[in-house]
Structure 1
Amino acid sequence: MRIRDRRAEDVPEINLVPLIDVILVLIIFFVITTTFDARSVLKIELPRAGGEAHAASDPLSLLINADGRYFVDDREALRTDVESLKRTIVEVAGDDRDRTVLLRADARTPWQAVVTAYEALGQLGFTRVANATAPEAPAASPQ
């Protein structure tokens, strides 16, 4: 009778399931802990104006990009109509109607988008609205 050694027939294998689980947990961890800054993604060109800068404490930021899309603080309005914009403003601002609204519209924004923003703010009862502008470019002096 011949006794065989079964250890020689065992083929070592690498189980990938625990490795995949660990990688998925790491991916989820990094996605959740990453901070997203919507303002760094949006490129707008503010209209130019002279005058002094006036800063308000903790203003509600309403940004309109060149395509006419609205962003209230870091939340985007789903559509470009007045009702959708009003819902987004109420979700972000709550019942605080005395808060200053800082309206930042791209210089290439269609005027209708700005008028829609003013209409939504007026219907909600916001009375303090400030327009953000970029400082005028210095004039070249003749030499």
Structure 2
Amino acid sequence: MAFASFDNKGGNAPLAEINMVPLIDVMLVLLVIFIVTAPLLSHSVKLELPKASAQTVSAKAPKIDLSIDAAGVRYWDGQALSREEAAQRFAAQAQLQPQPEVHLRADQSVAYRVVAETLADASKAGLNKIGFVTDPVTTPGAK
């Protein structure tokens, strides 16, 4: 800040300070404008929704573990069976509500024909939830 003095050394020098008062006034006006207009920007409709009580449905779908080994033998939850037996079990399981999920594990060296036949049998029976189970790929340096 510049103080007045009785000597003439710096009397004619320009004042090198920024006047902050107009800046603060503008900022306060903008703040008031935003405070007033912010509630007007929300377009909410006030509704009185009906009240209802319902119990949550937590029916967990059963799971079928179907495995096919390298020789093409099918296993239903660890029990060996033929293609015809698997098709009969698929038909019986398709009638259940909720429908079970089929988790298919196939050996990487099994013929694709066996996997395709199994998928076709499950589809013909009406089972829609079929998932393939694989081992995750491990990358070097991954945790």
Q: TM-score, normalised by structure 2?
A: 0.49
Q: TM-score, normalised by structure 1?
A: 0.49
